[in-house]
Structure 1
Amino acid sequence: MRQRPFVLSTDPHAPFPPADSAMRDPDGLLAIGGDLSQPRLLNAYRHGIFPWFSAGQPPLWWSPDPRMVFRTDSVRLSSRFRRELKRSTWRIRADTCFEKVITACAQSPRPRQDGTWITSGMRQAYIDLHRQGHAHSVEVFDGDHLVGGIYGVAIGRMFFGESMFSHRSGGSKVALAALAARLCEWSWPLIDAQVENDHLHSLGGCLMPRQTFLEQIGRLVDQPSPEGAWTHRFGVLAAASLSQASVP
C-alpha cells in the first residue's frame, strides 16, 4: 500500500497506478491531481477508480477496500414501503433531465457533510459525459414534478453510481430500485455504490473485496452494450410495479 497518493501526469491519457496500491489511511486514496476530462474519467471508472473531493482541493482519486455494491436482483425495499408503492402514481424515466438530477444531487444536504463534493467543475464534467452517452440519469416524476433521481456512469455492462436525491420521501429509493430492475432485465449484474453507509446497507447494498470488484468489473466493462441515451430503451416504468419485486 502507498504511504502517499500518486501524483497524476497532466496527460489525460496517462494511466493510473494499480487500484490495489491505494492507501489504507485514508482508505482507498490512490492519486491526486490531473483533471476531469472525459478520457481520464472513463479510464478511471474502467479500473475501479472514482473522483471525490471538495471545492478548493485538487482532484482526489479513490478505490476503497472493500467496495459497496448492489446486485441488481437484490435491491431491498421494506414491506411497508412496498405497500405504499402499490398506491403510487409516480413514473420513472431515464435521461430526460440529466442536468436537473445532478443539480438536485449537488444541492441535497448530506448527514455530517458541509457543502457538496459535486462542484461546478464536477457537474460540468458529468454533463459532458452525459452528452457523449456515457453518463445517465434515472428520474422519478409525480406528474410533471421531479421527486427523485440517481445518476452515474455506464461502461459496457457496468453501472457506476455517483449520487441520488429525494425531493419527496422515498424518491431516491424508487430511482435506485427502478434502475436495478432495468439493469437486471438487461443482464447487468452490479451497481457500484462506492463507499458504504447505513442507508445503502438498508437498501440491500453489500461489501465486496476490492480485488473481487476489480475482477468483476474488468469483465463487465468490456461487454458490448448499446451506446447513447437510455430514454427509449428504459421506457416508462410505473413505481407501483416495483411493489411486486421479490424481497431477497
Structure 2
Amino acid sequence: MESKTCCWICNKIADSAEHRIKKSDLVNLYGSGSYKGENSVVLIRGGQESKVQGPNSKIVKYKKNLCSKCNNEFSQPFDKSYEHFITYIRQNKDLILKRRFIDFQDVYDDEFEVSQRNLYKYFVKSLGCRLANDGYPIPKDLPALLPKKQFRTRLRITFAVSEDLLLSTEIKTAGKGNLKTFAPGSETRPTWLEKWQAKKQGRTGPLEYQWSENFEWLYVWYWYNIIPHGNLGSTWIADSRYVYLGSYEIVSDEEKQKIV
C-alpha cells in the first residue's frame, strides 16, 4: 500500500501543493493570463528550461506537502503579509534603495509588530515546503513557532539588494536559489543516505541550511543554524522595526558592460 505524505506543519495527510514561486509574484511580473508568445515565461531548474503555461501551472508548484487547512486557512495571514510587503517593495523602490533599509512601520503602519511576525512566518513556510519537497529533515522549531507570538528559533533571515539585477529594467525575475545543506562545522554536503538516516532517527537539529529566493532585485537569504554573512544584510527574526539591506552581486565588471 502506498504511504501517504504528511503535512509538515500539522502532520495530517498532505493534499495541497504550495507554489514554488508565489502565484501573486507571477501575476505581478507576468500577468494573470496564459504565458504564450511575447508573454512566454521560462522556469529554469537544474540547468533545464521548462515553459510555464500560467500562474497556476503545476510546474511552478511543489509536491503536495501541506494539508488544505494549513495551506489555505492557517497560513493565510502569512501569505497576506508577504503580498503586502511585496507591494510596498514595488511601490517604494527608489526610497528603499536610497536608504538601504526597510522600516516595517512604513510597510504595515501601526500593525507592524504583528504583520512583520506574519511575514517571517511566511518565510518559514516557504523554507519548510522546500525542505519537505526535497526530502530534507525539517527542524522541529520551524512548525512549532508558526502558531506562537513569541518563539525561539535557529532560523535567521537577511535581505540584500541584487546589484546585478538593478542594471537592467528589462529583466523580470522571481526565483529560488540552490539549497545548501551541511553537517555542523563541515564543508561537506550530506549524502542521501545520511539525510534519510537523520530523518528516520528524528535528528532534526544537526543539519545546517542556507537558501535564498528573490523577487526582482530583492533577495531573501535563509540561514538555519548558520551565522549569516554580514554583507548580505542585518539579521532579522521578526524582532526589529528596521531591517538593513546587504549587497549581492555575481556578475563581473566585464559582463556588466554588456548589460543594457
Higher relative CO (CA 8 A, sep ≥ 6), structure 1 or 2? 1
What TM-score do the two structures reach when normalised by structure 1?
A: 0.27
Identify the structure with the greater helix proportion.
2
User: With structure 2 as the length reference, what TM-score do the two structures score?
Assistant: 0.26
Structure 1 or 2: more strand by fraction: 1
